[in-house]
Structure 1
């Protein structure tokens, strides 16, 4: 279950993906399979090759791309999430969603 974002933020993320850009969307998230994660960052792009190349620099494998409707994306959690957000200058995501590694 996703929460903590506006419709406008979701719409903007989808627009950026449709333009072929790498787009980030972080939101609060509850999933019993991942009890230690309270949020997830979705990094998407409609250009699968571009997204796979982007992910490779962080050790993400192309087969980890979720092909959800028209919005292919990686799901980032934990240390990988924090590192990638920091390296991409997305401190606002880290602060807003209180992302910490304990």
Structure 2
């Protein structure tokens, strides 16, 4: 698993890992699931974050930016994994073109 970009790499990768391990999401869903990022007192949220969760976070994080669509700002996380047959599969993040190639 990896991500190109800036200081949001850690939060992007961590959220994918949490989605997979804690919430048992399939890898593709874990990668495409809406993300959040906190930096310099501003909580940025992608669309799809439940409104009740955003409202609950408002008390702790009053400065919020609600993005209108998924954005590369939140990192483009890509993964390579073993499939059920022991082969390899790749999953590209739609925020960064969503492409994987297996040869």
TM-score using structure 1 length: 0.31
Instruction: State the TM-score, normalized to the length of structure 2.
Output: 0.31
Compare CA radii of gyration and give the structure with the larger one. Answer: 2
| Structure with the bigger percentage of helix | 1
Looking at secondary structure, tell me which structure has more strand per residue. 2
